Structures are given as structure tokens and as C-alpha cells.
Amino acid sequence: MRLGMINSAWEQHGVGLVDGLKKTKELGFDCVDIFEDPMEPGADERIATIKQTCDELELPIISVVGVSVGLVDFNPSVQRFHVERCKRYLDMGATFGAKNYLLVIGEYIWQKEVILPEEQWKFAVDNCRAIGDYAGERDLEIVIELEPFHMSLVNTIGEMDRFLTDVDNPAVKANIDISHMLLSDSPPESLASLRGRAGHVHISDCDGKVHGDLPPGRGVVPFEGYMQAIKDLEFDGAISLELEYAPDPSQIVEWVTEAYSATDRLMSAIDLRN
């Protein structure tokens, strides 16, 4: 597997788009994931800049990352808009030569009130199947994020298994977020249910209670068991660092460097990085 990071860690902390990509390469990362909304003003120019920069750096783009709350909205017109928006992410991914679209399905407003949970589940299943077809036509995958919140749509490995089974589309797979697995009480051995259906990995540390996005080693996540379980799945993917909230933006380079070194050690210990 390759070691990457989500580029939003840089821009959220004052490092410019191009400088962040250059620093990613300079630190030794094998690849990068891109957090960019293709429907924002100026997106076409930024997308062109990202592609040109990554091509020049020989820094492969593995994943494009986005949240699509409206896929589970009860208004059909809202769903249709978000399906089209997801397709724009996939078009962007195809432009980059990416492997997948990391999709967060809107778990942050999943309250299971007013709209029957079964209906929202069906909305998500049907819409992910539709955009999965679009992804497959472009030789891309969609990887679904597990969010460790009580009211999330997909909040355990068991629910991920059920969701992927219901979607039943080979282009729709799971993103394995190690920290989220710990927070959702999903042990390493539960990953066996995702054999043949895992497409990407996020890694960060936490305090065992809430989202942390910390460099590995700064929290309580027992990474070794999870890393071995990921290796046992034998899929060709990337492990990407998720570092969204550095405590001191002025030290973001040191923060990313620490996370890179810690993750490289974890991967090297079991011969996981190639």
C-alpha cells in the first residue's frame, strides 16, 4: 500500500494550495487525496492547478473527498441535485486519474426523526447505487466513510457490511477509518467482513472518546491490530493521513511530519508500504 494524506490539512492552516502539494511531496508521501469542491466559484482553475502541480511533482492523486448531505434528503429534487453534484466529484476524480471518491453521506444530520430511518437508508442505497454506476463507467470507485456517531447512517463495520450488501454495486466500497473503528467499538477482526469490498484507508489517532485527527501515537488507538487486519484484506489501496485540526497552525509542517513518520513506522513494521 501507499502512504498519503488529505491536502486539506495544509490549506486549513494557512499553507497555500500549491505549496501544500509541494510540501506533501517533499516530506516523502507516495500520494495525496484532494479535498476540493468542483462546484465552487473558481474550481476549474484550481482543479487545473492541482492536476498540473501533481503531474509535475509526480505525486499521484488517489482520492477526491466530499460530503453530500442531500443524498438522504426526503425531497427528490434535492436528491437529484446531490446525485449530479457527486457526479461532478467523479468527473474531477477522472480528470485527476484518481482511484476513488471518498463519500460522506451526510451523517451529521442523521436524526432518525420525521423521516423513517428505513426511507433514508433506501434513499442512500438507491442514490449510491446510481452514482456507483457512473463511477464504474469511469473506472473509479466510491468509498463510503464510516462515522462513529450514535445517529449516523453507517456507524459500525456491521452497518457498513449491510449498506454495501444493499447497494450491491462493485464500484461502491468501504473506506476503513481506523480511529472511527475504535470509536464505534468495531474491533480489528470485524474487518474480515469487508474482504473484497474495501477501497481506501484513513488513519489518525484520538483519545478514545471523540474525533481527534491526531498524529498516530498521540492518542490511544491500538494501531497494530488494525494495520494487520488491513494487510490481511490484501487490497491495493492507500493509507491517507487525516489531520484536519492541528492545535497550532504555525506548526502544521511539524505536525504533518510527525504523523508521516509515525505512520511510516507502523506500515514498515508489517511490510505494508510498497
**Thinking of the domain 2-269, which architecture would CATH place it in?**
Alpha-Beta Barrel (3.20)
| Residue of 18 and 119 predicted with greater confidence | 18
pLDDT digits (tens, 9 = 90+) for 199-211: 999 999 999 998 8
pLDDT digits (tens, 9 = 90+) for 55-108: 999 999 999 999 998 998 889 999 999 999 999 999 999 999 999 999 998 665
Q: Say which residue the cell 453507517 belongs to.
A: 154
Own/partner pairs for 189-195, CB < 8 Å, 24+ apart? 189/229, 190/156, 190/157, 190/158, 191/157, 191/226, 191/229, 191/230, 191/232, 191/233, 192/229, 192/232, 192/233, 193/157, 193/158, 193/161, 194/157, 194/160, 194/161, 194/164, 194/233, 195/233
- Beta-strand pair 172-177/141-144: parallel
Of residues 31, 34, 55, the one with CA closest to residue 43 = 34
Burial of 268 (0-12, 13-18, 19+ CB in 10 A): exposed
pLDDT band with cut points at 50, 70 and 90 for residue 212: confident
pTM: 0.93
Q: What is the pLDDT of residue 244?
A: 79
